[in-house]
Amino acid sequence: MKVYISSTYQDLVDHRAAVDRTLRRMGHDVIGMEQYVAEGSKPVERCKADVRSADVYVIIVAWRFGYVPGRTASPPDGRSITELELQEAQASGRPVLAFLLDPEAPWPPNRVDAMGGAPGAGEDVSRLRSLLGTDYLAGVFRTPDDLSSQVAAAVSAQGLTRHMVDRVLGETSVATPDMNAFAQGTQVNDSTLFSIKQMIQRAGAARALVLQIDDGQRWWSTRLFLLASLLRSLTSVRQVVFCDADGRFLGMASPAAIMDGLASAFPDLDEFARRLRQDVPSVDIERETDRQTNAWNALVSAPMPGVVNPSVPSLGVGIDESTLKVGVRGPLLERWLGERWVGRCIRVDSYDLSMNQVQQIVDSLLPDVPIQRRTKAPDNGYELLVVDRDAFALQLAREWVRSGLPRSPVR
């Protein structure tokens, strides 16, 4: 990862060197004041740009506030370069790792602003320290080695969550334009079959499938039952995740739980499963999709209950789908599925997980953990993910070992 180190320089030169050395041994790319010192300048805009380019922002504060570039401006700006860098990190959404010198640690008086004798000396750095201690879980250090070990652990922990969810989750979604006709009861014919088969192919290797149900206006209960049957037979989908029009999590259930719950609520639907069991299933997506949809059409094709289907007389009595269908809503699904309905998820307001949320995943009683998080562009709403708890924990352990082992720098 790219790590930006922010602090005053002369008073913390040994501490910065220890942190820089440790992070580089771990394979991280470190950006710091040392580069500016070598160039003979530290332009504010260059510092801000480097903060924005970093993956993690580390701020180290002892008892100096640092250079204030806007002191002579009109009107004067009392922020130091260190504080300007902090505000840039906050504005650009960079993770902030804060470290404060222990108030009880021995420190040379000539490195303490308050010892300068001027009125109000030391107030600015005290304000900055108070801000960091209040807004962040700041580490407290005494020596350069103490600081470097704390920074190394914090950066490693931050690296564990960065993009790790994406490497272990499985997800897909049903495209609304493709599935509207099927979801709302249009006859299952060649045109709707094409969209169904496309969806099955997209979902084939996925762990979860996301459905937008829009408070009962988008999906019929009968079509959800057929979808669950196809998912259970033809895909690796373990969970169907339901969301509203804005992408917010409503609940989750497995395809088998959906079929069982709907069959209990609507016993006529169990006839479909019984008919499927009369034939040998196929592992071919085309043939199995055709087999299930043909059985479905035979069941629901009659215009009225009790009317024999003339096109498939051997299958007996058809059922009018309009007498069974109900618009699918979250509260109804919870009622139909009972304890098999998962109504809570981990909600992530930023793009990356916090360490507390990582712990929630590892400690979850569910093998499939639903997560709702903001997209990288906050105005674009939410995305729903399902994380394999056991794979996540294994990846976590591997990343911890990998990130904790020093690596020789590339020569």
Which residues contact residue 36 at a Cβ distance below 8 angstroms, ignoring those fewer than 6 apart? Answer: 42, 46, 47
Query: Which of 3, 68, 9 minimizes the C-alpha distance to 37?
Result: 9
Section 281-303 average pLDDT:
81
CB atoms within 10 A of CB 33: 21
**pLDDT (tens digit per residue) in 376-400:** 665 667 888 888 888 888 877 776 6
**pLDDT (tens digit per residue) in 204-217:** 667 888 888 878 88
**pLDDT (tens digit per residue) in 111-122:** 999 887 666 678
Q: What is the mean pLDDT of the chain?
A: 81
Q: Is it the case that residue 308 has pLDDT exceeding 50?
A: no
Which residues contact residue 388 at a Cβ distance below 8 angstroms, ignoring those fewer than 6 apart? Answer: 168, 169, 170, 207, 367, 368
Q: Which one is predicted more confidently, 164 or 86?
A: 86
**pLDDT (tens digit per residue) in 89-110:** 999 888 899 999 999 999 999 9
pLDDT score of 310: 43
pLDDT score of 217: 82
Q: Is it the case that residue 306 has pLDDT exceeding 50?
A: no
Q: Domains in the chain and their CATH numbers? A: 2-161 (3.40.50.10140), 173-340 (no CATH)
Which two three-digit tokens encode residue 357? 């949320």
Query: Which of 82, 27, 39, 37 minimizes the C-alpha distance to 58?
Result: 82
**pLDDT (tens digit per residue) in 56-79:** 999 999 999 988 887 777 777 889
Q: Is it the case that residue 250 has pLDDT exceeding 70?
A: yes
Confidence of residue 307 (pLDDT cuts 50, 70, 90): very low
What share of the chain has pLDDT > 70, as a percent? 80
pLDDT score of 162: 61
Please state the pTM of the whole predicted model. 0.65
Question: Which region among 175-184, 237-246, 317-326 has the lowest average model confidence (pLDDT)?
Answer: 175-184
Phi-psi region of 400 (alpha: psi -120 to 50; beta: other; left: phi over 0): alpha
Q: Is it the case that residue 374 has pLDDT exceeding 50?
A: yes
What share of the chain has pLDDT > 90, as a percent? 35
CB atoms within 10 A of CB 349: 9
* The Cα angle at residue 83 between residues 11 and 33, in degrees rounded to 5: 50
